[in-house]
Amino acid sequence: MDKKTKITIKDVAAEAGVSFGTVSRVINDDIHVKPETRERVLQAMQRLGFVANRQARSLAGGKTNFIGLLVPDLGTGYIGEIIRGIDAELTLQGLDLVLYTTHRTASKEAAYVANLAQGMVDGLLLVLPRNPADYIGVLTQRKFPFVLIDHQGTGKDCPAVGATNWQGGYDATEYLIKLGHRRIGFITGWMDLGCAQDRLAGYRAALRTYHIPEDPDLIYEGTFFQPDGYTGAMKFLDLPNPPTAIFASNDVMAMGVMDAVRMRGLRVPEDISVLGFDDIPQASLVRPALTTVQQPLENMGRVAAQMLLDLIEQPERKVGRIELSTKLVIRESCQPPRC
Amino acid sequence: MDKKTKITIKDVAAEAGVSFGTVSRVINDDIHVKPETRERVLQAMQRLGFVANRQARSLAGGKTNFIGLLVPDLGTGYIGEIIRGIDAELTLQGLDLVLYTTHRTASKEAAYVANLAQGMVDGLLLVLPRNPADYIGVLTQRKFPFVLIDHQGTGKDCPAVGATNWQGGYDATEYLIKLGHRRIGFITGWMDLGCAQDRLAGYRAALRTYHIPEDPDLIYEGTFFQPDGYTGAMKFLDLPNPPTAIFASNDVMAMGVMDAVRMRGLRVPEDISVLGFDDIPQASLVRPALTTVQQPLENMGRVAAQMLLDLIEQPERKVGRIELSTKLVIRESCQPPRC
DNA sequence: CTTCTTTTTGTAAGCGTTTACACAAGGGCA
DNA sequence: TGCCCTTGTGTAAACGCTTACAAAAAGAAG
């Protein structure tokens, strides 16, 4: 049916018997078009199967309608959830997503940002940026719209969305304490990341509140990957006085913990309580279902996208960090310690 | 430092003391530029921090340097692995990825494809397309380059890459049989997908080869999600004569199976052997580590990207389906049945 | 029926490149 | 020295659209 190679606004204009300017106005929902003319144009577009050329619109209009998304990796469902939120919001505005995976190579990150900011996209969304200090300065100075997702740290006041990691760490620890636990093992995330630091700080604060002395043996430094949970738990279980509960800084490490516990012939939660962080989809699917601190990942993506859109609209507007609240989701992996 | 808003080739031309045509030639690695001129231009570009405008290049050059990627979802690591491969290959060619997540809404799929094919991208990569029949015709007829990933079915001979699902199903079943199992439960994937059908067919073929009668009670129809594995296994275990091994059509369902087995107070692999399909990163991390059929996911992505690039180069070339071979990865979740 | 507004529509000038074509140098050769 | 090739460089015309600005049509008011 479509024998023509490319249908342009001129073709549509000819078909509808108007000038191409009018067609352009119809495309852009310009007010100044007589309803019946608009209708005629719309039908012509329909008939010809016209789709506006993106590149041309961008060139002439000065905006690309692309948003750049930089993510470290797509291995865990974690980032998938965030993207889902971003995607939902962007689709509403007819914007498309250009995906860059940095695979944890910090160098690529800065290079990508430099290029993208040169007009390839209208705005930038950075998930779990590794060392944003490298380019935030440039971005800010150039007034290029961007939003950081799940990062805090540089102390600089720049647009970011994250979760209340400190509070999440605190709440979870408090929950374990109230269940009666006194020796609670903690497995940290990758401590270069602010979120990992905050979760640990929350854990510590809760212990302090309840006058439980902190034991350095009960803190194992991990990197957010499952094997850390396994190894950390093994180490805890080797202790002369092992913990009765283990709180891992994310769910996948918590699953590593569960494996280790089972490996030792112990049971969750009867012998050891296990608590995670994130509430990835899998958390509710393992047995026992994991009690965890829920991060509103999808919502974080959504909010970040909204912030970015606002920023694109009004670049002057000053926005800072937004923290979405975490929520303790109680399932089956924790119970009071054995007497 | 960059006080100028936009640096164009004209600025570079002025800086280098040449015409903008020459600058363009330098950008495009045109042979007809005197080495020293090239050098001068390059330095000017460097000095000015010039980055070519993507939209303008696309408009004038006729290609966008974008590849469209349609995926159903990013929940499981499965697609992340594929993207990693695609990404690696595309980066080599300086192409960027525009991401569309259809979230299993078939309607969005067709709409996206229609738009994208209208010049928004140079080619299309479709991962696990739901009902490609809707648009393959249009794409083919219009000679628009595309490659299907992990799909077979329509019988039409179109560019696709997948894995040897049948063989994988066969090999795994044979392995279980050789371990001594006679009653092997099978949990299917979502049967609308060709890969799910093939795995089941492989399972059946192996049974036939070894003259083991097929028992309809030992086949549970799932949809590739973890709860299916759980439910299916529960159903098997309720049988008067339950299976001694369970083969799930993907790893996440196999993990559901493990949960169910544990829930019943049984042990993997002592009481029940469990086998998966895919070899997602998690498979080696759970305890017992999952024996599974490895799909070369990253490589599938890479090969698909290469095929697409070839197709873009020579649109006339006829390419069909490529199948990458699966491999049985033996870990800890299977052993001979108890006497 | 003018004249002045207020829509509505047409026109032309870009947006930043690529690329076919024209033109200016340098050789090589007779 | 003159002529023809190369090789390197400049020029102008697209690419398909947006958007001021100008022009025409349609009301409103007198």
Instruction: Return the closest-CA partner of residue A324 out of A90, A169, A160.
Output: A160
Q: How many domains does chain A have?
A: 3
In a domain? residue B106: yes
Give me the phi and psi of B283, to 5 degrees please.
-55, -35
Helix (H) or strand (E) holding B81: helix B77-92
CATH of the domain at A46: 1.10.260.40
Cβ-Cβ contacts under 8 Å for A156 (sequence gap 6 or more) = A133, A136, A140
> Do residue B114 and residue B192 come from a single domain?
no
Question: Does the distance separating the beta carbons of A286 and B259 come in below 8 Å?
Answer: yes
The partner residue sitting opposite B99, judged by closest CB among A77, A97, A103, is A97
Domain range enclosing B24? 9-52
The partner residue sitting opposite B74, judged by closest CB among A6, A83, A226, is A83
In a domain? residue A305: yes
For residue A38, give the nucleotide whose C1' atom is nearest its CA: C8
Predicted pLDDT at B57:
92
Model confidence pLDDT, tens digit, residues B195-237: 999 999 999 999 999 999 999 999 999 999 999 999 999 999 9
Report how far residue A214's alpha carbon sits from residue A218's, in angstroms, rounded to the nearest whole number: 8
Predicted pLDDT at B2:
40
Upstream peptide bond of B145 is cis (omega within 30 degrees of 0): no
Instruction: Return the closest-CA partner of residue A269 out of A245, A233, A252.
Output: A245
For residue A179, count CB atoms less than 10 angstroms from its CB and return exposed for 0-12, middle for 13-18, buried for 19 or more: middle
In a domain? residue B58: no
Report how far residue B188's alpha carbon sits from residue B250's, in angstroms, rounded to the nearest whole number: 8
Predicted pLDDT at B104:
66
Report how far residue B277's alpha carbon sits from residue B254's, in angstroms, rounded to the nearest whole number: 8
> Do residue B214 and residue B264 come from a single domain?
yes
Beta strands in B38-171 (DSSP E): 66-71, 96-101, 123-127, 146-149, 160-163
Predicted pLDDT at A2:
40
> Do residue B171 and residue B290 come from a single domain?
yes
> Do residue B169 and residue B289 come from a single domain?
yes
Predicted pLDDT at A328:
98
Instruction: Return the closest-CA partner of residue A147 out of A78, A87, A202, A67.
Output: A67
Question: Does the distance separating the beta carbons of A230 and B285 come in below 8 Å?
Answer: yes
Residues in chain B: 339
Is-contact B41 B16, C-beta < 8 A? yes
Is-contact A205 A166, C-beta < 8 A? yes
Report how far residue B255's alpha carbon sits from residue A77's, in angstroms, rounded to the nearest whole number: 16
> What amino acid is encoded at A20 in this protein?
F
Chain B residue numbers touching A83 (CB-CB < 8 A): 74, 99, 101
Cβ-Cβ contacts under 8 Å for B171 (sequence gap 6 or more) = B202, B206, B293, B326, B328
The partner residue sitting opposite B56, judged by closest CB among A59, A226, A256, is A59
Predicted pLDDT at B156:
66
Place of tokens 């993997």: B268
For residue A79, count CB atoms less than 10 angstroms from its CB and return exposed for 0-12, middle for 13-18, buried for 19 or more: buried
> Do residue B256 and residue B307 come from a single domain?
no
Instruction: Return the closest-CA partner of residue B333 out of B263, B255, B280.
Output: B255
> Do residue B185 and residue B255 come from a single domain?
yes
Model confidence pLDDT, tens digit, residues B100-129: 988 767 677 787 888 888 888 999 999 988
Q: What is the DSSP string of B136-192?
A: HHHHHHTT--EEEES---S-----EEEE-HHHHHHHHHHHHHHHT---EEEE---TT
**From the Cβ of A6, is strand D under 7 Å away?**
yes
Q: What is the mean pLDDT of each run of 10 residues along chain A (339 residues)?
A: 68 92 92 90 91 91 91 83 92 90 76 82 89 81 89 73 96 98 97 91 98 97 94 97 97 95 92 96 88 96 95 85 95 92
Report how far residue B51's alpha carbon sits from residue A274's, in angstroms, rounded to the nearest whole number: 51
CATH of the domain at A175: 3.40.50.2300
Report how far residue A57's alpha carbon sits from residue A197's, in angstroms, rounded to the nearest whole number: 45
Give me the phi and psi of A48, to 5 degrees please.
-85, -10
Q: What is the DSSP string of A222-274?
A: --SSHHHHHHHHHHHHHSSS--SEEEESSHHHHHHHHHHHHHTT--TTTT-EE
Query: Best mutation site among A96, A268, A331 for testing chain B: the one with the most B CBs within 10 Å?
Result: A96
The partner residue sitting opposite A83, judged by closest CB among B64, B98, B101, is B101
> Do residue A252 and residue A291 come from a single domain?
yes
**From the Cβ of A14, is strand D under 7 Å away?**
no
Give me the phi and psi of B248, to 5 degrees please.
-100, 145
Beta pairing, strands A96-101 & B96-101: antiparallel
Q: How far is the CA of A160 from the C1' of C18 (A)?
A: 40
In a domain? residue A332: no
**From the Cβ of B25, is strand C under 7 Å away?**
yes
In a domain? residue B59: no
Cβ-Cβ contacts under 8 Å for B105 (sequence gap 6 or more) = none
Cα dist from B82 to A273, A282, B122, B215, whole Å: 36, 20, 20, 35
Question: Does the distance separating the beta carbons of B75 and A51 come in below 8 Å?
Answer: no
H-type alpha helices, A51-155? 54-61, 77-92, 106-115, 133-141
Q: What is the DSSP letter of B116?
A: I
Using H for helix, E for strand and C for coil, what is the string for B178-230? HHCCCCEEEECCCCCCHHHHHHHHHHHHHHHHCCCCCCHHHEECCCCCHHHHH
In a domain? residue B1: no
> Do residue A264 and residue A305 come from a single domain?
no
Per DSSP, the three-state class of B85 is helix
Closest-CA distance, A1 to chain B, in angstroms, reads: 10
Cα dist from A83 to A74, A337, B68, whole Å: 10, 39, 16
Query: Best mutation site among B6, B63, B96 for testing chain A: the one with the most A CBs within 10 Å?
Result: B96
Chain A residue numbers touching B84 (CB-CB < 8 A): 73-74, 101, 103
Q: What is the DSSP letter of A218?
A: G
Predicted pLDDT at A152:
64
> Do residue B32 and residue B18 come from a single domain?
yes
Upstream peptide bond of A269 is cis (omega within 30 degrees of 0): yes
> Do residue A243 and residue A303 come from a single domain?
no
Predicted pLDDT at B194:
85
Which residue has its C-alpha nearest to nucleotide D16's C1'?
Answer: A56
Report how far residue A51's alpha carbon sits from residue A7's, in angstroms, rounded to the nearest whole number: 7
Closest-CA distance, B129 to chain A, in angstroms, reads: 18
Question: Does the distance separating the beta carbons of A99 and B98 come in below 8 Å?
Answer: yes
> What amino acid is encoded at A316 in this protein?
E
Closest-CA distance, B298 to chain A, in angstroms, reads: 11
Q: What is the mean pLDDT of each run of 10 residues along chain B (339 residues)?
A: 68 91 91 88 90 91 91 83 92 90 76 82 89 82 89 73 96 98 97 91 98 97 94 97 97 95 92 96 88 96 95 85 95 92
> Do residue A88 and residue A157 come from a single domain?
yes
The partner residue sitting opposite B80, judged by closest CB among A2, A75, A120, is A75
> Do residue A172 and residue A289 come from a single domain?
yes
Beta strands in chain A (DSSP E): 66-71, 96-101, 123-127, 146-149, 160-163, 184-187, 219-220, 245-248, 273-278, 291-294, 321-324, 327-329
Closest-CA distance, B203 to chain A, in angstroms, reads: 27
Per DSSP, the three-state class of A99 is strand
Instruction: Return the closest-CA partner of residue B126 out of B83, B164, B71, B177.
Output: B71
In a domain? residue B266: yes
Report how far residue A225's alpha carbon sits from residue B162's, in angstroms, rounded to the nearest whole number: 29
In a domain? residue B44: yes
* Token pair in block for residue A79: 């980032």
Chain B residue numbers touching A58 (CB-CB < 8 A): 55
Instruction: Return the closest-CA partner of residue B115 out of B147, B133, B138, B82.
Output: B138
Residue of B nearest to A58 (CA): B55
* Token pair in block for residue A108: 């690529």
Which residues does residue B66 pair with via DSSP β-bridges, in sequence order? B96
Report how far residue B255's alpha carbon sits from residue A283's, in angstroms, rounded to the nearest whole number: 12
- Write down the number of H helices and E strands in chain B: 12, 12
Give me the phi and psi of A260, to 5 degrees please.
-65, -45
